[in-house]
Amino acid sequence: HIGQFKIDHMGHAGNVDPARGDIGCHQHPDLARTEFRHRLFALRLALLALGVGEGDEVITAPNSDAGTASAIYHVGAKPVFVDVEPDTMNLDAGLLEAAITPRTKAILPVHPYGHPADMPRIMELARKHGLLVIEDACLALGASIAGRGTGLWGEIGCFSFASTKHLGGFGS
C-alpha cells in the first residue's frame, strides 16, 4: 500500500541531516529523504506510516485549508477540531487535553503563516497520553520555537514546495 503510494507521489530529496537541523524526520529516516508533489500526499503518507487509520481520531486545527483534514479522511480516520488561539491562530494547546478520547491516536498541529504552534506543550500532552505528533509545517519553513525548527518536534514533519507556499517551486 505505502510502496505504491511512494511510486505514484514521491521523489527523492537527497541529503537530509536532522542532526544538523536540516528539514527531515528524526524518527523515520526513510521518510526524511522524500519529497512530495503536494502536502496532502506528505500528510497522508505520514499518517499511514505511523499506523493511523480506520476508527482513529486525529486532533488538528480548524483553520487550515482542506488538505489537512483531507489527509486524515483519506486514511479512514476522523479529524477532531480544536479551536485556535486568537493572537497566533495556532492550535490552542490549552484545549487539547479536553479533546483527547480513547480513539485519539495523533495530534496534527499546523504552523500557519510562519508562526509555530506551542510544540513544547503539545509534545508534553502527546507523551502524557501516548499520542503521535505529525507536524504540518508547510507554511513555516525556517521557523522555530524554543530553539528547535518546525517539523523536527514530532514523529514526522511535513513541508511543501508547492507554488502557493513560502518557497514555492514551479507548479504543484
Q: Which amino acid is at 129?
A: H
- 77-114 burial, b at 16+ Cβ within 10 Å, e below that, comes to bebbebebbeeebbbbbeebeebbeeebbbbbbbbbee
Give yes or no for a contact between 135 and 151, defined as CB atoms under 8 angstroms apart. yes
- Render pLDDT for 7-42 as a digit per residue (tens, 0 to 9): 334 433 333 444 444 444 444 444 444 555 566 778
Q: Is pLDDT at 171 greater than 60 in this prediction?
A: no
Give yes or no for a contact between 40 and 71, defined as CB atoms under 8 angstroms apart. yes
Q: Is pLDDT at 160 greater than 90 in this prediction?
A: no
Please give the pLDDT value at position 130: 97
Please give the pLDDT value at position 56: 98
Instruction: List the catalytic residues.
Output: 165
- Report which secondary-structure segment, H or E, holds 35: strand 34-36
